[in-house]
Amino acid sequence: CEEKLVECTFTNVTWQGNSRAPFRFLADAFETMEATTSRLALIKILTQVFRKIVNTTPDDLLPCVYLCTNTLGPAHEGLEFKAGEATVLNALSSATGNSVKVLKERLTKLGDIGDLAAECRTTQQTMFKPPSLTIHGVYQEFRTMANLAGKLSTKEREKHLQKLLVSASSKEAKYIARIVLGKLRIHIAYKTVIVALATVFAPCPKSDAKTTDGMDVILKEAAATLNAVYSQLPVWDRIIPVLIQNKSTEGLEEQCRLTPGVPVGPMLAKPVKEASDVLERFQECSFVCEYKYDGMRAQIHYLTDGNVKIFSRNAEDDTPKYPDIVESIKFALSKNNTVTSFIIDSEVVAYDPETNAMKSFQELQGRARKEVKIEDIKVPVCIFAFDILFLNGESLLKWSLKDRREKLFDTFSTIQGKFQFTTSKVFTDWEGVDEMMDEAIKAGCEGLMIKALTGEYSSYEPCNRSQNWLKMKKDYMNSIGDSLDLVPIGAYYGRGKRSGVFGAFLLACYNSETEEFQTVCKLGTGFSDEFLSSITKFYKDGHILAEPKPYYGVSDTPAIRPDVWFEPCQVWETRCADLTMSPSHTAAKGMLSEEDKGVALRFPRFIRIREDKPVDDATTADQIVELYCNQKSKM
Ligand code: ATP
């Protein structure tokens, strides 16, 4: 298409098809993106980056996408940089000749490891010009560093990083240091990558559809295709080669399908507070209410080679943690020898086999995590299966929930206390739902999940939080409808009984558009004394910051300023009485009618740490707006 000839506006770096794409090119793009806040402008720059690479050295697109998203591979591979600030400081010291002590002092002043790396490079003279860095080379070096294991791996990692830093220009060093620490912060969320790739690979319009409107439709369709494919197969290594080969998003859906062994983004639910919300949504169809168990989400895959894999909500491979689940699955299948592969969705709950009662979420959390042996398991678990997404080579995502449930019930046999189906009942109106809610609470569940059984709302939508699944929690029916998952970004010293520990915390939601953590409340209730001691120790052991991060959205109100700032590294589930507009907090600021105010939680109370959520999966500013608007309309 004509637009595909557009050159890059942010750099004059070019290269030929017979060499590799220079890392300088990406560093220039990162610098421009860092200074850009408009999402449209960001998409434009990223599109130029991808297009230039596709047109010149298409093999560099895959490493480029991983570097832009600050990742090393698909989430379920679990490949992590494994380097902390100390590793970067040591490598910088060896590469530049500055002592670690001097570097640390400078870092305290500058506040950003990237700025420090850039500054050191500018002052450093080298005798010979080292070879210039390529996108592919930097990515490979990062992967090598991540794969190092064993006693000497930290030193080895430092050496690899030092090698990269010696070859890097000032700008390149800045982004290398940031990437290694997972702090690239160029405002690129995965959605931006999807839209930019879709723009590059959208099919060319037929000549009669070349109007702006025609192009928009084509781009939207291409982005929707790519999004749907990525949520079913979140592996760029599989998708990008197909895009490059087809030179288009056309044909992608057929070639990149749901695959056992690769976790699918889990379908998510919207909170509801009362019957009318549910009935309004499911007017035309029957719906099923299931107990909402209080455990951990588990997506269980059965591969054609007989292997079982268990993935968390976060696509982490939890198989080594649950050898008992692997065994239970094999028992649940034992009466059915026609099954060659499947993917099911379930909740794993701590369970007492003696009393046949479910145990608390805390008991489950206390279970050992790594390389667990069946004979050492102290907290038995039961799988409560509620959906099946794939069976014997066929995707069932588009099937109605009614048909999927029938398949689930037909395929597996239940084993009391090890593998059960969720307790469920089908309804066509509200009659009996309240009673079921009471039963669920008595059984130790959080409430009910309500799902359409047939019709347009009943397919399985990976990654999507839509109204096709509704969640209703008993203790929240009169309040805002859901708890919030927030990130502590600072704390206030305790007084009196709480002196010596933190007594209250500053919590933030995540604005995925601006990539900011925006404050939403000061939290001081719901903690035990033991929790306050251990959490104070945790943050004091290396998670306190000298300065707030540039991406913390905090108002100037003096009463909000915490005594210490935290690294954003935990997610805390928090409940509140309701939401209110506030001049002191910045959550969702500018997104509601009172543009100069943010939203704040009233009477917040700590519930628990969400270990299964990374910080950028915290409650978003969009969700806060939605909860606030729902609450207002009810009032
Ligand atoms: P969210 O991202 O929606 O906030 P969450 O992890 O905080 O998700 P909840 O909001 O409490 O979880 O509700 C959805 C979760 O409930 C699912 O992710 C799943 O782990 C759990 N769950 C328990 N029982 C069921 C069920 N019958 N059907 C679906 N999910 C269930």
The amino acid occupying position 142 is F
Model confidence pLDDT, tens digit, residues 325-371: 999 999 999 888 899 999 999 999 999 999 999 998 888 988 877 78
Q: Which of 259-268, 458-467, 508-517 has the highest mean pLDDT?
A: 259-268
Model confidence pLDDT, tens digit, residues 139-176: 999 999 999 998 889 999 999 999 999 999 999 999 99
Would the pLDDT of 128 be above 80? no
| Cα 189 to ligand 1 centre (Å) | 23
Instruction: Output 345 or 456, whichever has higher pLDDT.
Output: 345
Model confidence pLDDT, tens digit, residues 45-55: 999 999 999 99
Structure tokens at 175: 């982004």
- Cβ of 386 below 6 Å from ligand 1: yes
| Cα 493 to ligand 1 centre (Å) | 34
Mean pLDDT value of segment 305-310? 96
Please state whether 70 falls in left (phi above 0), alpha (psi between -120 and 50) or beta. Answer: left
Q: Concatenated DSSP letters for 294-320?
A: SSEEEEEEE-TTS-EEEE-TTS-B-GG
**pLDDT at res. 126:** 63
Would the pLDDT of 182 be above 80? yes
Contact 171, 27 (CB under 8 A): yes
Q: For the packed helices 153-167 and 170-180, what is the interaxial angle rounded to 10 degrees?
A: 150
Q: Which is it for the CA torsion 358, 361, 366, 368, positive or negative?
A: positive
**pLDDT at res. 215:** 62
Model confidence pLDDT, tens digit, residues 85-112: 999 999 999 998 899 999 999 988 888 8
Q: How far is CA 150 from CA 140, 145, 154, 363, 549, in A?
A: 20, 12, 8, 32, 33
Residue 624's closest CA among 544, 516, 533, 543? 516
Contact 255, 242 (CB under 8 A): yes
Model confidence pLDDT, tens digit, residues 513-523: 888 899 999 99
Residue 299's closest CA among 259, 272, 356? 259
| Cα 127 to ligand 1 centre (Å) | 59
The amino acid occupying position 287 is F
Contact 321, 350 (CB under 8 A): no
The whole-model pTM stands at 0.82
Give burial (CB, 10 Å; 0-12/13-18/19+) of 531.
middle
Would the pLDDT of 632 be above 70? no
Q: Where are the alpha helices (DSSP H) in 134-169?
A: 135-147, 153-167
Return d(Cα 400, Cα 406) in angstroms, integer: 10
Model confidence pLDDT, tens digit, residues 473-507: 876 555 666 889 999 999 999 888 888 999 999 99
- Cβ of 268 below 6 Å from ligand 1: yes
Give burial (CB, 10 Å; 0-12/13-18/19+) of 513.
middle
Please state whether 292 falls in left (phi above 0), alpha (psi between -120 and 50) or beta. Answer: beta
3-state secondary structure (DSSP) of residue 170 = helix
Residue 289 backbone phi and psi in degrees, to 5? -105, 130
| Cα 347 to ligand 1 centre (Å) | 8
**pLDDT at res. 130:** 77
Count CA within 13 A, CB hemisphere, residue 272. 22
| Average pLDDT, rounded, for the chain | 90
Catalytic residue, chosen from 171, 273, 292, 359, is: 292
- Site to probe by mutation for ligand 1, drawn from 293, 294, 611 as the one with most ligand atoms within 8 Å of Cβ, is 293
Return d(Cα 207, Cα 218) in angstroms, integer: 13
Model confidence pLDDT, tens digit, residues 552-580: 999 989 889 999 999 999 999 999 888 99
Q: Which is it for the CA torsion 328, 450, 476, 552, positive or negative?
A: positive
Would the pLDDT of 246 be above 70? yes
Q: Concatenated DSSP letters for 391-437?
A: ETTEE-TTS-HHHHHHHHHHH---BTTTEEEPPEEEESSSTTHHHHH
- Cβ of 191 below 6 Å from ligand 1: no
Q: Which atom of ligand 1 is nearest to the CA of 271?
A: 10
- Site to probe by mutation for ligand 1, drawn from 347, 424, 574 as the one with most ligand atoms within 8 Å of Cβ, is 347
Instruction: Output 117 or 121, whichever has higher pLDDT.
Output: 117
**pLDDT at res. 432:** 87
Which of 3-12, 59-68, 374-383, 440-449 is predicted least confidently?
A: 3-12
- Cβ of 347 below 6 Å from ligand 1: yes
Would the pLDDT of 207 be above 70? no
Q: What angle do CA 462, 467, 470 make, to 5 degrees?
A: 95
Q: Concatenated DSSP letters for 329-359?
A: HHHHHTT-TT---EEEEEEEEEEETTTTEE-
Would the pLDDT of 597 be above 70? yes
Q: Which of 29-38, 283-292, 301-310 has the highest mean pLDDT?
A: 301-310
Contact 303, 261 (CB under 8 A): yes
Q: Which atom of ligand 1 is nearest to the CA of 424?
A: 27
**pLDDT at res. 5:** 52
- Cβ of 387 below 6 Å from ligand 1: no
Residue 367's closest CA among 323, 310, 311? 323
Residue 594 backbone phi and psi in degrees, to 5? -85, 90
**pLDDT at res. 594:** 83
Is residue 407 annotated as part of the catalytic site, yes or no?
Answer: no
- Nearest protein Cα to ligand 1, atom 20: 297
Instruction: Output 218 or 610, whichever has higher pLDDT.
Output: 610
